[in-house]
Chains A and B, each alone.
Chain A
Amino acid sequence: MHEIDMTKCLILSMEEWAEKKDKEKIVVEKINLKIGEFTCVEPISLINTFNAAVLGSWLDSSAITIETIPFEGKCSKCNRLYFPKKENGYKSPCCNFNLEEIISGRELKIASIDFKEK
C-alpha cells in the first residue's frame, strides 16, 4: 500500500523538476530510479502503481526503470564488506558481528530523467 504514497512523492518530485522546464514543451521518456534492497519498496509494485497513477497525465507516456542497489554492510571488526542476509541475522559472515554500518541498500532515488523537447 505504501507504494501509492511513494508514487505520490515521485510524481510531486517530477512536477517540481518540470517547473524548471517548460512542461508543455517536453516529453518524459524514462524516469530512472535507484532503489536499494534494504528499503520498504517492492519495485514491481512501484512500477504498476506509477503506471496506473499517471494515466491521462503529462507523464502518461513515461516509463520507469529501476536499478536495484545491493544491500551491503561493513564488518565493524575486520572492515570487510559483505551482503547481509536475513537468514544469518544480517551478521557478518567473516566475524559473525552485528550489522553496524550499512554501505548501500537504503537508496530511494530518482537518478536521472530522460526527456525530449517537442
Chain B
Amino acid sequence: MHLPISDKIELNILHQNSHQAEKNKGKFNNYNLLCLNIMSSPGSGKTRLLEITLEDLSKKFYSAVLEGDMTTNLDAARLEKLNIPVVPITTGRACHLDANMVSGGLKLLEKKINPNLLDILLVENVGNLVCPAEFEIGEHFKVALLSITEGEDKPLKYPIMFREADLILITKVDLLPHLNFDINELKSNIASTNPKADVIEISSITKSGFDLWQDWISKKILKFKNNLY
C-alpha cells in the first residue's frame, strides 16, 4: 500500500445534474423555447393556476407542459383537456424533478410536437418546498407559489425556495377576508429573503392578478424571442 494521496477537486456535488440541466437549457435555446419551472408545496394551486393561465396563454403562444407528479397522472389528465401537448413525468420515490427526468420528458414531448413550433414550456414540479430549489432542470426562470393558507412565515422557514425564485405568486388571496392572515408580513418576509423577486397576488377563484401574471409571462417570452436574455 502506498501513502495516501489527497486529490483536491472542488467539484459541485450536483454537477452531474447541473451538467444535464445546461444541456437541457441548450436544447430549449436551440428551440427558441422559454422554460419556466413552477414550484410550490402540495396544494398551493399550481395545476389550477396552469389550467386558467393556459386557457388564455395558448391563444397567444404555442405552449406545452411537463407535469411532474410522484405517483399519478391526475394533474396531467386535467391539463390535457386544454388540447395542448402535456407530458406526465412520474417521479416515483423522488420528491422533485431533476434534469435527467426533464430531459426524458423533453424527448417524449419531441415525439408529440416539433418543439421549434413552441414558445413556452411550463414545467410543473413536484409539490415540495425543499429539494426542487436545489435541482436545476435547465429552466430560464423559477416561479414559486405560496398560498396564504400556508402562513406568513414560509419564506423564512423555506428560504432557499423563495431565494431562488424569480417570481413569487401569492395564491388564494380571495380567502384573505376569511383568515387571520397578514399579507404585509408575508411580503416583508419575502423581501427579506429575496428582495429581487417579483411578487404578484393572485386568485384562481376571482381571477385577480392573472392579468399581471400573463403580462409577466408575455414579456419574458418576447424578451427571450428577441435574444435579450
A10 on the interface (CB 8 Å rule)?
Answer: yes
Q: Are A16 and B16 closer than 8 Å at their CB atoms?
A: yes
A40 touches B16 (CB 8 A): no
Question: A100 → chain B, closest Cβ, in Å?
Answer: 6
Q: Which residues of B contact A59 (CB under 8 A)?
A: none
A67: CB under 8 A from chain B?
no
Give the distance in Å from the alpha carbon of A85 to the alpha carbon of B126 in the complex: 28
Q: Are A89 and B15 in contact (CB under 8 A)?
A: no
User: Of B13, B133, B156, which is within 8 A of A13 by CB?
Assistant: B13
- B96 at interface, CB cutoff 8 A: yes
Q: Is A77 close to B, CB under 8 A? A: no
User: How many residues of B are counted as interface, with CB atoms below 8 angstroms from the partner's CB atoms?
Assistant: 40
Q: A55 an interface residue at 8 Å Cβ cutoff?
A: no
Say which one of B29-37, B47-55, B185-193, B214-222 lies at the interface with A.
B185-193
Whether A109 contacts B130 in the complex (CB less than 8 A), given A100-B195, A117-B2, A118-B1, comes out as no
Min CB distance, A105 to chain B, in Å? 10
Task: Check B228 for interface membership: any CB of A closer than 8 A.
Answer: no
Residues 79-118 of chain A, each 1 if its beta carbon lies under 8 Å from chain B, else 0: 0000000100111000000111010000011111111111
Instruction: Tell me the minimal C-beta distance from A74 to chain B in angstroms.
Output: 13
> Are A90 and B193 closer than 8 Å at their CB atoms?
yes
Chain B's interface: helix, strand, loop or mixed, by majority?
mixed
| Distance between Cα atoms of A118 and B160 in the complex (Å) | 43
Closest residue on chain B to residue A89 by CB atoms:
B192
- In contact, B10 and A111 (Cβ under 8 angstroms): yes
Can you name 28 A-B pairs with beta carbons within 8 Å? A1-B131, A2-B95, A2-B130, A4-B93, A6-B13, A13-B15, A13-B16, A29-B4, A38-B159, A38-B160, A40-B130, A40-B131, A40-B160, A89-B189, A90-B193, A91-B192, A99-B194, A108-B134, A111-B10, A112-B6, A112-B8, A112-B9, A113-B6, A113-B7, A114-B5, A114-B7, A116-B2, A117-B2
Known pairs A1-B95, A109-B13 / 19 extra A-B pairs, C-beta < 8 Å: A2-B95, A2-B131, A4-B93, A5-B135, A12-B16, A38-B159, A39-B160, A40-B160, A86-B156, A86-B157, A89-B192, A90-B192, A98-B191, A98-B195, A99-B193, A110-B10, A114-B4, A116-B1, A118-B1
What residues of chain A have their CB less than 8 Å away from a CB belonging to chain B?
1-2, 4-6, 9-10, 12-13, 16-17, 27, 29, 33, 38-40, 86, 89-91, 98-100, 102, 108-118
